[in-house]
Structure 1
Amino acid sequence: MRVAVLDDYQQAAHRFADWQGLGADVTFLPEHIADTDTLAETLRGHDVIVAMRERTPFTAERFERLPDLRLLVTTGMANAAIDLAAAHRHGVTVCGTDGAAHATPELTWGLILSLVRHLPAEAAGMREGRWQHTIGGDLGGRTLGVVGLGRLGARVAAIGNAFGMRVLAWSSNLDSGHARGLGAEPVSKHDLFSEADIVTVHYKLSERSTGLIGRRELSWMKPTAYLVNTSRGPLVDTAALVDALREERIAGAGLDVYDVEPLPAGDPLRTAPRTVLTPHIGYVTEETYRIFYRQAVENIAAHRAGTPLRTLTP
């Protein structure tokens, strides 16, 4: 059996699970492969592929180009980049893994604090010999707007309450009673964007939610407000966000996710002002990797035994 582990950027996957126990030929690929021809050539002859989140799309064309593939394991229990119907047609079983629910909410607050207290600028200033050149904002008494109050959004809201913030929530199908039970005020989309000092996005990406936050929503925001996105890049209209930042129509943005990942070197976001950018590390923690890769190995062993675990269906 030949196994390929994709997008192992930190070259760390090997130490989070007992890959040797599979008795398989396991290849860890640290570089992202975007080109379909290169991907098909690299993965030729592999029975099993372990994909990291949505980094590498698996389309109908790619399944056609991978005739030896029998098992595709994705980290996480949902992956919008995998055509499950095409996988089924090509006889490929798709399995997922659990994850650590606290990891992304924790990074969300790291971005929020970095923006509000100007931490990157002050840290850089210290290395350059400077001392106190910005004035930070406050969280206590301010308003947090949570777009999407699911598992991750609820954790972010709870921390907002702990900071003494007023917490607003909106989603297209928000349960008002559930929101109030979590300490959040259910409001309209307009009211959330116009009243929040910080808007943080925790929404599932789909055809309907692509571009959920565009020029209209950004125009509703106060010029002193910040936008934070640790969910998925396409939820926000990137061109509109860059314009809002350059025209100083919002105070800043903290981003961990992008339309194209890894983010191209020449992408306008890399030079946009008043931003804190991280390379999609919301899920990149020791505990998350331990769960991802151990369960990936479990999935491979179970599939070989004819009893697949955590299967994903169209």
Structure 2
Amino acid sequence: MNIVIPDDYQDVVRHLPAFDRLSDHQVTLFNDTLTSLDAQVERFHHAEALVLIRERTRITRALLERLPKLRVISQTGGGVAHIDLEACREHGVTVLAGRGSPTAAAELTWALVLAAMRHIPEEVANLKAGRWQRTLGTALEGRTLGILGYGKIGARVARYGQTFDMKVLAWGREGSRERARQAGIEVVASQRELFERSDVLSLHLRLNEATRGIVGNADLAAMKSSALLVNTSRAELIASGALEAALRTGRPGMAAVDVFEQEPVVEDPLLHLPNVLATPHLGYVEKDGYELYFGDAFSNLIAFIEGQKIDDLAAQ
């Protein structure tokens, strides 16, 4: 089978042990992301299978209409919001998805919390420039951590907060709130209360039509001027432009973000704000996680090729 794997930015996929599972097939890897429809068609026109690295390439109806050879899409991780499933069904394209892992994303979230609260990147730059101790950091002990979305990642981040002797609050849908209660986490009365009380607020929601823009201007304005907002989930959870505006007015006082509305980022206003710590969507970019994601994606693809029973998301 002719398999195409786009968006392998670090050129690591072919070095994973899991990649050996595709040794009997013709595999083409690309190390960048194309957004032009014509350029995507030219790149994918010969593909019978696409293995997608998370949401880096969107699969639209317009693209599918020009890829008549495409038979199957095997997705790394479980999210498929970037794939037009209805169009895949109409064009007879099978869509397969694997498992996710909360570990890498939760660890990066906590790394951003520590780095932002203690001004670590700024002080590293200061030291290399010959400047000694220019900021005053803030400890986590005794402060309040808010978790919006108590799922697998949110629960891990909450435990990290407890380990650092923080008070932890949670809010989310009813299932999320119930899981938090069972874990002994205080569930606040409303999303607004979570924003008002948190010294560090971390977003851990899936992006869908119900959660798109769920964080608005009023929520951000309710935050403390000393608070840190952390978003390692999806940029679109926050209303477009709201975070930039809020940071310019000083509520919250800081933000640490790993996600952007347009990726890869060429230009974004957040990158120019002094109270923003930004990373290039590294949440899931970690060796063990990659082996899990691609192991699943390749195994699912081989099962499709061999005619085994599969779970086709486009057929649901």
* 8 Å contact kept, 1:230–1:256: yes
Change (3 A) 1:83 1:33: same
* Count of equivalent residues: 313
| Aligned partner (choices 185, 209, 212) of residue 210 of structure 1 | 212
| TM-superposed deviation, 1:175 | 5.1
> Residue 151 of structure 1 corresponds to which residue in structure 2?
152
* 8 Å contact kept, 1:158–1:182: no
Counting only pairs closer than 5 Å after superposition, residues 81-120 of structure 1 correspond to structure 2 as 81-120=82-121
Give, in whole Å, the separation in 2 of the partners of 1:195 and 1:292.
Answer: 36
SS at match of 1:27: strand
| Aligned partner (choices 245, 248, 251) of residue 253 of structure 2 | 251
Over aligned residues, Cα RMSD in angstroms? 1.4
Query: Which has the larger displacement, 231-240 or 281-290?
Result: 231-240
| TM-superposed deviation, 1:22 | 3.6
> Residue 64 of structure 1 corresponds to which residue in structure 2?
65
SS at match of 2:81: coil
| TM-superposed deviation, 1:301 | 1.4
> Residue 10 of structure 2 corresponds to which residue in structure 1?
10
| Aligned partner (choices 196, 199, 210) of residue 198 of structure 2 | 196
Change (3 A) 1:46 1:175: closer
> Residue 239 of structure 1 corresponds to which residue in structure 2?
241
Deviations 1:178-232 (CA, angstroms, capped at 9, x unpaired): 2122232111111100000011000011112111111110011011111000001
Give, in whole Å, the separation in 2 of the partners of 1:175 and 1:208.
Answer: 15
Change (3 A) 1:114 1:175: closer
Identity %: 40
Does residue 260 in structure 1 map to residue 262 in structure 2?
yes
Give, in whole Å, the separation in 2 of the partners of 1:69 and 1:277.
Answer: 36
The one-letter amino acid of 2:10's match is Q
SS at match of 2:134: coil
SS at match of 1:18: helix
The one-letter amino acid of 2:81's match is A
| TM-superposed deviation, 1:302 | 1.1
SS at match of 1:146: strand
* 8 Å contact kept, 1:40–1:66: yes
TM-score (structure 1 length as normaliser): 0.96
The one-letter amino acid of 1:219's match is A
Give, in whole Å, the separation in 1 of the partners of 2:170 and 2:241.
Answer: 25
| Aligned partner (choices 222, 227, 230) of residue 229 of structure 2 | 227
TM-score (structure 2 length as normaliser): 0.95
Give, in whole Å, the separation in 2 of the partners of 1:201 and 1:21.
Answer: 36
The one-letter amino acid of 2:2's match is R
* 8 Å contact kept, 2:177–2:187: yes
Deviations 1:133-173 (CA, angstroms, capped at 9, x unpaired): 11110111000010000111111111111111111111133
* 8 Å contact kept, 2:144–2:167: yes
| TM-superposed deviation, 1:310 | 4.8
Give, in whole Å, the separation in 2 of the partners of 1:178 and 1:100.
Answer: 18
| TM-superposed deviation, 1:311 | 3.5
| TM-superposed deviation, 1:120 | 0.5
* 8 Å contact kept, 2:117–2:138: yes
* 8 Å contact kept, 1:19–1:26: no
Give, in whole Å, the separation in 2 of the partners of 1:21 and 1:150.
Answer: 33
Change (3 A) 1:61 1:308: farther
* 8 Å contact kept, 1:145–1:168: yes
Counting only pairs closer than 5 Å after superposition, residues 116-127 of structure 1 correspond to structure 2 as 116-127=117-128
| TM-superposed deviation, 1:308 | 4.8
Deviations 1:84-142 (CA, angstroms, capped at 9, x unpaired): 12111111111112233211000000110011000001111111112211111011100
| TM-superposed deviation, 1:76 | 0.8
> Residue 304 of structure 2 corresponds to which residue in structure 1?
303
* 8 Å contact kept, 1:302–1:309: yes
The one-letter amino acid of 2:59's match is F
